[in-house]
Structure 1
Amino acid sequence: MNVHAIKAIYLFEMARTWRTLMQSIASPVLSTSLYFIVFGSAIGSRMANIEGVSYGAFIVPGLIMLSILTESISNASFGIYMPKFTGTIYELLSAPVSAMETVIGYVGAAATKSIIIGTIILLTARVFVDFTIIHPVWMIAFLVLTSVTFSLFGFIIGVWADSFQKLQVVPLMIVTPLAFLGGSFYSINMLPPFWQTIALFNPVVYLVSGFRWSFYGVSDVGVGVSLAMTFTFLLICLGIVAWIFRTGYKIKA
């Protein structure tokens, strides 16, 4: 294992974050804080409790998960796309750095950024609403697992994209709608039976449900099912990444 190579890639990606703090950290935290102000403090105070949890507190896990999904994908996809765009990817491919070390460096940096953002949002949420964390260890586990999984997914998007427009199309047209329809602002148990069944085909439902369970002990689906679905998506992403490096898809061409 070339630890020096992993460290170099990781520190390079993290340095880009510190150079663009307003865009990388402040912007997603500020936008999520607006959700807390509008839905948590203003609207939430006028809504009934959901499964014994105040509405303002109920949406905290969903909003954190929404930010983690979008930021993990954005950071990882941009991180690997820019070397392709500038041509420096060939320097990396010709260096004594394995595919696994490359992925660990880029995905590790993207996941770290997402975890930092999620932690800041969690602390910021305390200013606007009261909430509890019944299972803090599981909360951290879901936070890390989701960040790593969707950073891998973002890495795949960054390799696939051959323009800045394609880099944004999947997060904007697919991931964001799925996140909003995945129970971030409501429980799927509030939906009619038919739409509850449809919602179960949305993978984000399992992420939000498991993360919310770690806070309040309530969930739309079993926590075991949430973990299984997340691990399944993680394994699929790992398989695709392995295929990309084995075939050189849009990297060596």
Structure 2
Amino acid sequence: MNWPAIRAIYLFEMARAWRTLLQSIVAPVISTSLYFVVFGAAVGHRIETIEGVPYGAFIVPGLIMLTLLTQSIANASFGIYFPRFAGTIYEILSAPISPVEIVIGYVGAAASKSILLGLIILATASLFVPLRIEHPVVMVLFLLLTAITFSLFGFVIGLWADGFEKLQLVPLLIVTPLTFLGGSFYAIDMLPPVWRALSLFNPVVYLVSGFRWSFYGRADVSLGISLAMALVFLALCLGAVTWMFRTGYRLKA
């Protein structure tokens, strides 16, 4: 394993986050805080508790998951797309570094930035509402799984996209709507039976449910199913990245 090469890619990507601190860190935290204030203030007065949890505290795991998904995809997709756009990807591909090491460097940096954002939002939310984390090990597990999986998904998007517009296509039209409809701000048990059944086809439901269980011990679906779905999506993303490197898809001129 070429650790110096991995470290070089990782540190370069992390340095880009610090150079664009307002865009990479501050803006997502402010946006998520506004979600929290608006939903907590506007809806919280009408819905005091959900499954015994104050509404303001109930939405915190969903908000963290929303940020984790969107930022993991954005960080990873831009991180690998820009070298393709600038032409420097060929220098990386011709260097003595394997595809596995390239993926570890880029995905590791994207996941690290997303996890940092999630922890900052968690700390910010604790200033507004009383939070408890009943299962911290499970919380960390879902943080890592989600960040790594969706960073891989973003890496796939960054290789697939042939323009800056396509970088935003999947996150805006697919991922963000699925997150809002995935129980981030409500329990799916509150939905009519038909809509609840349809919600179970939304993969984000399982991520939000498992993550919320780590906080309050309550979930829309069982923890085992949530964990299994997260691992399945991780395997699919790994398979897609492997295929892209083996075939040279969007990598070879």
Give the TM-score of the pair, scaled to structure 1.
0.99
Aligned equivalents of 1:208, 1:167: Cα separation in 2: 24
CA RMSD of aligned residues (A): 0.8
- The more displaced of 172-181 and 43-52 is 43-52
Shift of 1:42: 4.5
Shift of 1:123: 0.1
The corresponding residue for 1:189 is: 189
Give the TM-score of the pair, scaled to structure 2.
0.99
The corresponding residue for 1:107 is: 107
The AA in structure 2 aligned to 1:98 is S
The AA in structure 1 aligned to 2:86 is T
Shift of 1:48: 2.9
The corresponding residue for 1:233 is: 233
Structure 1 unaligned segments of length 5 or more: list them.
none
Shift of 1:130: 1.3
The AA in structure 2 aligned to 1:159 is L
The corresponding residue for 1:71 is: 71
Aligned equivalents of 2:84, 2:78: Cα separation in 1: 10
**Pairing 1:129-168 to 2, within 5 Å after superposition:** 129-168=129-168
List per-residue Cα deviations over 1:101-153 (Å, max 9, x = no partner): 00000000000000000000000001111121100111111011100000000
Contact 1:5-1:97 at 8 Å conserved across structures: yes
Structure 2 unaligned segments of length 5 or more: list them.
none
Contact 1:40-1:129 at 8 Å conserved across structures: no
Aligned equivalents of 1:106, 1:240: Cα separation in 2: 16
Give the secondary-structure state (helix, strand or coil) at the position aligned to 1:128: coil
List per-residue Cα deviations over 1:222-247 (Å, max 9, x = no partner): 00000000000000000010000000
Contact 1:41-1:128 at 8 Å conserved across structures: no
**Pairing 1:57-68 to 2, within 5 Å after superposition:** 57-68=57-68
Aligned equivalents of 1:43, 1:210: Cα separation in 2: 23
Aligned equivalents of 1:250, 1:92: Cα separation in 2: 14
User: Number of aligned pairs?
Assistant: 253
Shift of 1:45: 3.6
The corresponding residue for 1:176 is: 176
The AA in structure 2 aligned to 1:104 is I
Give the secondary-structure state (helix, strand or coil) at the position aligned to 1:44: coil
Give the secondary-structure state (helix, strand or coil) at the position aligned to 1:172: helix
The AA in structure 2 aligned to 1:181 is L
Contact 1:40-1:128 at 8 Å conserved across structures: no
Give the secondary-structure state (helix, strand or coil) at the position aligned to 2:219: coil
